[in-house]
Amino acid sequence: MRWKIRFDAGLAPDIIIAIRMGRTNTDALDYYLLPQFEMRSKPLGLAEENGLMLDAFRFETLDFFFDMARRVPVSEVAPW
């Protein structure tokens, strides 16, 4: 299986969340959280195995992303 991700450079996102779908397009296989520096003007091709350069951005679920984005009290993160 192969997937092509096309980037819209006009939007200038900091991160793209790409979802690789299974053969029937009913189930998500995995997710790629791609930072801006990995975006290219040409489409990015993904295969079942992509090597470390791309699979470093691969996640089974979006739990990591949601944990990064969650709100926390300042007292939880401030060193004072």
Looking at residue 76, what DSSP letter applies?
H
So where are the chain's domains? 2-61
Task: Let me know if 50 is exposed, middle or buried by CB neighbors in 10 A (0-12, 13-18, 19+).
Answer: middle
What confidence score (pLDDT) does residue 5 get? 83
**Residue 39 — φ and ψ, nearest 5°?**
-80, 140
Q: Is 34 exposed, middle or buried (0-12, 13-18, 19+ CB in 10 A)?
A: buried
pLDDT digits (tens, 9 = 90+) for 5-47: 887 777 778 888 899 999 999 999 999 998 877 666 577 888 8
Q: What is the pLDDT of residues 45-73, one digit of tens each?
A: 888 888 888 899 999 999 988 988 888 88
Question: What are the two backbone dihedrals, phi and then psi, of residue 75, each rounded to the nearest 5 degrees?
Answer: -60, -20
Task: Output the pLDDT for position 36.
Answer: 77
Give this prediction's pTM.
0.75
